Amino acid sequence: MIVTRQPHTGMEIFQRLPNEVIAEIIGVASKVNQATLCRVSKLFNDLCLPTLYRVVLLEDYAAALAFTSTLLANTTRAATIRSFTVERLYEPWPQPSPPVLGGMLLASMKLMTRLEHLFFPALYKLQDNCFDALLADVTLPCLLTCGISHFSSWNAAGDKIGLFLQRHPTLTRVRLRTNMRIVISPTLRISLPNLRHYDGSVGLLPSMEAGGNLTRARLHWHSDHEDEDIDQAVKVLCSLSNPTIPFFAVHEYRDNSWQPILTSMAAHMPHTTALQMRPLAEFGTDLTEQIIDHITACLPVFTKLVYLAFECEAAAFPSSDADEDDDCNTVETWSEACPTLEACCFNSCAWRKGEDGWEEFDMSEFRALVGIPDSGYW
């Protein structure tokens, strides 16, 4: 007697697999396919939902409205969300009105008790009330990464920002972008023992207490900082870092405050590995002889400096009128002053140390070498 084995259907094969294997397969499927699989069976629904909701990206008002409506009607799904990003939402706005949608977003976030990554940029038309509520009412006990932007009256909300950070001591990365100077009460202390990356206003630094784990800082300086304020802020920055761990620093400034910033970095943070100075306005892209002399005078105290960048605001560097030979001489002078230096960029050109001396190379290669994203920032 001949026995013929019947071919298994796709569903029969899946029924023979452990749930863990099925979940792995679901994890590499597209969001569209995951949503389709949710409707196959109760088993697939139970396995797909945690993956489908793990990373949420809302790119427009329609998506935000659909997501929040669904989540508020099925609140148990919120516990599966680990990353929540709301892109900038522009006109036209559907119904309900933006303030109502802002309330729905906040209500949804309050349910995300296991959220680890939050990115919430400026939502024009939601504005102050929405952000005040976010800062005051939302607590996420597992939050590791936080990115918030707002372009309004945050100079009057410094303590609210501080209290929000204070409620989230688990944070390892913080990005706070605003067009206003942030001022915090001197009595407010923000303990972030696990903080490794900070990107935001220098006004928050005096209130911060960390465990010496900070390895990257991108600081936004405003034009009204006195030299004493700059020096004190850099001292605090030093206290947040560890001299035995490589440190990357980016300083963004709107006036000629680069000089006291560089002087203070040399005095208090000689262990800096990568230093990027970045003007936020057009103060000239070429370094003058006076600027070069000051940089040269500061370099000898940097005992671990590998990468140095003096860049203009634009991501695409304009052509420079500087003389290439003069630039090469400058680089060699800096190398003598700081023997650990391996690459630098200024006057819209990049240089690296080779076997036969310093050589000019492409700016994109410099970014890749240093680890600067396409946005131009560490």
Place of tokens 């963004």: 252
186 closest CA partner among 202, 206, 169:
206
Q: Give the model's pLDDT for residue 299.
A: 96
Which pLDDT band, with edges at 50, 70 and 90, does 198 fall under?
A: very high
pLDDT at 358 over 70: yes
* 227-248 pLDDT tens trace: 778 899 999 999 999 999 999 9
195 closest CA partner among 222, 226, 169:
169
pLDDT at 138 over 50: yes
Q: What is the DSSP letter of 153?
A: S
pLDDT at 2 over 90: no
Measured between alpha carbons, how far is 74 from 78 in angstroms, rounded to an integer? 8
Least confident of 37-46, 244-253, 322-331: 37-46
Q: Give the model's pLDDT for residue 369.
A: 80
Q: Give the model's pLDDT for residue 186.
A: 85
Which pLDDT band, with edges at 50, 70 and 90, does 23 fall under?
A: low
pLDDT at 301 over 80: yes
Share of the chain above pLDDT 90, in %: 37
Least confident of 1-15, 255-269, 342-356: 1-15
Q: Give the model's pLDDT for residue 160.
A: 85
Supply 7's token pair: 């071919």
Q: Strands 349-354 and 343-346: what pairing?
A: antiparallel
Supply 87's token pair: 């892109």
pLDDT at 338 over 80: yes
Measured between alpha carbons, how far is 81 from 347 in angstroms, rounded to an integer? 46
Least confident of 84-88, 112-116, 150-154: 150-154
Determine the average pLDDT of the residues in 154-169.
81
